[in-house]
Amino acid sequence: MPDFDAVVVGCGPGGNTAGYRLAAAGARVLMLERGALPRHKVCGGGLSRKTLRELPYPVTQVVEREITGAYIAYGGARPISCRQEGIGAMVQRSRFDAFMTGKAVETGATLWERCTFQGYESRDRLITVRTDRGTVNARVLVGADGVHSDVRKQLYPDARPKLVPAIEALLVPPAGVLEQLGENCIFDLGIIPGGYGWVFPKRDHLNVGLYRFAKRRDNLAMKALLESFIARYRILRDHREAKVKSHVIPVRPVAARLAKDNVILIGDAAGVGEAFYGEGIYYAVRSGNLASAAVLSYLEGLGELSTYDRSMRGLRRDLFFSRLTGRLFYLSPRLGHRYGVRTRKVSDLFTGVIAGTVSPARCLLTFLALAPYWLASAKKRPVASPLFD
């Protein structure tokens, strides 16, 4: 008799979703977390509407700010206003992840904090998991331990995830700035070549960062570009405190099979991040839901873990079209802003991807089909806002 039905390595959004779903269905679940919760996680902390729908429960308790609109600018100027009620929410990953882990534990999962995963052996449909707190046996191992996953490194030693960089600064802005921003965030397409900049308002600070999809000679010095971004915006430049961190986002699945030898990879460990926006939380939660369904079916003797790979086909297709969209759009964000963002039908398409009402495939194909329209149609006028000089 194994000690657990499933061991989940990593207490991020994907691991927490899988742990909760499995425990809620009566499975014996052990969750391993390298650090002590709550712990800091470098991330913009934006939850899209489709993420809020995909989560297994409401997270209102840890939402720091509801988002109902966005300004999309180019180089700190000519902002276009886009509004849609309930489009998303802002969280701090430290509180968000700890809250989700707490929900899994309340449901019956066992948590080992400050516990390092050291490897596993798979034999006769049984997984022996080694940790610095001892060895346990389980029927399934779920690798949810992030972009540098130790589980993935053992399962696929030669896998080379496709990674794109991001850098962020947590700023405490001057008095009144958060009130000015209100329920809006800012995206700037002219701050970094081949990418974009963002300003996300939280409860008491701003998360400001850069995402770089296409590597070029003029966008390698990301810290200098971030400093230039902050200096360009009046609402950012007089901040009282700043903490700068960098991270990488996986934008392509690491293997054709993400379920192998009673091991399942989800979230960043599986490489299922989105390329156009750099969104990771939705895909972590979605893969966690799909993985837990496959694991429960397997535990009940109703199917093999390979059903996970079949259920992931739609998500893989979305990620593929997101990469194609990124390759096209980030060739010239200037033209994307001028002809795409400022055209209502086009901006509605891309907003629909965030909301989950438009698939990445439909977004790209419709965008291309509408080329004669968005090249010739009237454009939305820039708005006047005290947020921009």
pLDDT in tens, 284-323: 999 999 999 999 999 999 999 999 999 999 999 999 999 9
d(CA 370, CA 70): 23
Look at residue 389 and tell me whether its pLDDT is greater than 80: no
* Encoded tokens for 342: 């400022």
Q: Quick check: helix, strand or coil at residue 41? A: coil
d(CA 74, CA 188): 5
Q: At what angle do helices 13-24 and 281-299 cross, to 10 degrees?
A: 30
Q: Residue 241: what pLDDT?
A: 81
pLDDT confidence of 193, banded at 50, 70, 90?
Answer: very high
Look at residue 53 and tell me whether its pLDDT is greater than 90: yes
- Give residue-wise pLDDT tens across range 54-82: 999 999 999 999 999 999 999 999 999 98
Q: Read out DSSP for 307-324?
A: HHHHHTHHHHHHHHHHHH
Q: Residue 344: what pLDDT?
A: 87
* Encoded tokens for 308: 């996970």
Amino acid residing at 357: T
pLDDT confidence of 83, banded at 50, 70, 90?
Answer: confident
CATH for 4-47+93-161+251-319 is: 3.50.50.60
d(CA 101, CA 29): 12
Sequence ranges of the domains in the chain: 4-47+93-161+251-319, 69-87+166-250
pLDDT confidence of 48, banded at 50, 70, 90?
Answer: very high
- Give residue-wise pLDDT tens across range 2-13: 899 999 999 999
Quick check: do 4-47+93-161+251-319 and 69-87+166-250 share a fold? no
Neighbours of 149 (CB within 10 A): 27
Global pTM exceeds 0.75? yes
Lowest-confidence pick of 140-144, 190-194, 214-218, 240-244: 240-244
The mean pLDDT value of the chain amounts to 94
pLDDT confidence of 345, banded at 50, 70, 90?
Answer: confident
Is 116:132 a contact under the CB 8 Å cutoff? yes
Is 258:251 a contact under the CB 8 Å cutoff? no
The arrangement of secondary structure in 69-87+166-250, i.e. its CATH architecture, is: 2-Layer Sandwich (3.30)
- Give residue-wise pLDDT tens across range 324-336: 999 999 999 999 8
